[in-house]
Structure 1
């Protein structure tokens, strides 16, 4: 254990909260790893697992909310001016903006599980003008799923934290691909059903009225 993650070992809940919080508005801190380590400590009685989950959830939502307001008040120009410090280029921001415009709520929830997107999620949502109630709702859903998954995993297999971190790095893109496939299938089905037009019981009365006229 070293670097930022040592904060969890030395300061417990406070260290966990700081790492998850600052990751939420663009700082490349190991928030995910901090949750796993804190949960592993809980598995050995050093911390309480429910408190770990609650602290991580609150910090995640708060951090992303700070990022949202940075993007909302600072705008695109401010983000691009300082984005290079957190690896946010103009091209990368443009891609995220396009996706956020089309499928914003889905991205807000899913991005929590993707390294890189997780840190910039709130900033981009604010910069693109996503309504605050919609952002905070889907951000909370994503945070709950993310914190729940890593808190449970870290608590149950805390003695194998290095293996968990390695597996997370290998398989996170498979999880993202699965989520993308599910979204695409839903969109295709929605489009097909929309093109079919109204159901027969709805079309019948319309034709009858047209014939009567």
Structure 2
């Protein structure tokens, strides 16, 4: 688990920038957590989250604007969430650009709807700038404020990971013993109750064969006397 933290600390700026470009809140919070630990400056993490969010949303908007017939855009347009996002764009165009990031499940269909709407590129860019700045500041601050709690969660996860490994090992040993007992246990108990070991049958086999031969009658030939 600490190896994961080390990798996040080492590649923190790249992770925050790429993560906020493609996804969002989680990576901005990670940036705030790294700032809390003193790995990177707080202002740097806010700036990276802002740039990633602004460029990511602007790229989707432009793609929908100039590639409206693309299959990827058409696939989003066929979903129910797109119709809901389009209604919000028509009613609250400027406000929706700013708050679209905060509405779960509507970020992508909302950007597609904005790209297909009549809003100008300049107007969207300005509103997107404001929205990205507010968004980056809020979620990076959340990661910074709750940095101690996040660290405690990682520590608890490591303890849980070790406990899970021990539990799985115990279960594996128990299952092995159980299958072995199912396979050979009854035969072993039977031998113990009869007072003989596993090699007794082999030692007694010659005497049994001798008794069988002594009891058997010799075969009579065609000319034997009656």
TM over 0.5: same fold?
A: yes
* 2:118 pairs with one of 123, 129, 133: 129
- Measured in 2, the distance between the counterparts of 1:20 and 1:148 equals 13
* Match in the other structure for 2:62: 69
Cα deviation for residue 50 of structure 1 reads 0.4
* Match in the other structure for 1:106: 95
Query: Equivalent residue of 1:75, what SS?
Result: coil
* 2:51 pairs with one of 10, 34, 58: 58
Query: Equivalent residue of 1:47, what SS?
Result: coil
Cα deviation for residue 162 of structure 1 reads 8.5
Q: Does the CA contact (< 8 Å) of 2:100 and 2:110 recur in 1?
A: yes
* 2:150 pairs with one of 150, 161, 164: 161
Residues 41/117 of structure 1: CA separation in 2 closer, same or farther (3 Å cut): same
CA RMSD of aligned residues (A): 2.9
The answer for unaligned runs of 5 or more in structure 2 is 154-226
Residues 80/58 of structure 1: CA separation in 2 closer, same or farther (3 Å cut): closer
Normalising by structure 2, we get a TM-score of 0.59
The 5-angstrom pairing of residues 7-18 of structure 1 reads 8-18=8-18
Q: Does the CA contact (< 8 Å) of 1:20 and 1:59 recur in 2?
A: yes
* Match in the other structure for 1:202: none
- Measured in 1, the distance between the counterparts of 2:6 and 2:91 equals 40
Structure number with greater Rg is 2
Q: Does the CA contact (< 8 Å) of 2:36 and 2:42 recur in 1?
A: yes
* Match in the other structure for 2:86: 97
Cα deviation for residue 43 of structure 1 reads 0.7
Residues 96/58 of structure 1: CA separation in 2 closer, same or farther (3 Å cut): same
- Measured in 2, the distance between the counterparts of 1:121 and 1:7 equals 33
Cα deviation for residue 163 of structure 1 reads 9.8
Query: Equivalent residue of 1:45, what SS?
Result: coil
Q: Does the CA contact (< 8 Å) of 1:61 and 1:143 recur in 2?
A: yes
1:152-198 CA distances to partner (integer Å, 9 max, x unpaired)?
A: 1211221223999xxxxxxxxxxxxxxxxxxxxxxxxxxxxxxxxxx
* Match in the other structure for 1:21: 21
- Measured in 2, the distance between the counterparts of 1:6 and 1:44 equals 12
- Measured in 2, the distance between the counterparts of 1:129 and 1:68 equals 12
Q: Does the CA contact (< 8 Å) of 1:72 and 1:129 recur in 2?
A: no
* 2:104 pairs with one of 101, 104, 115: 115
* Larger deviation, residues 123-132 vs 153-162: 153-162
The answer for unaligned runs of 5 or more in structure 1 is 24-30, 165-213
1:71-103 CA distances to partner (integer Å, 9 max, x unpaired)?
A: 1012166445443xxxx6433212211221221
1:35 aligns to 2:23 (yes or no): no
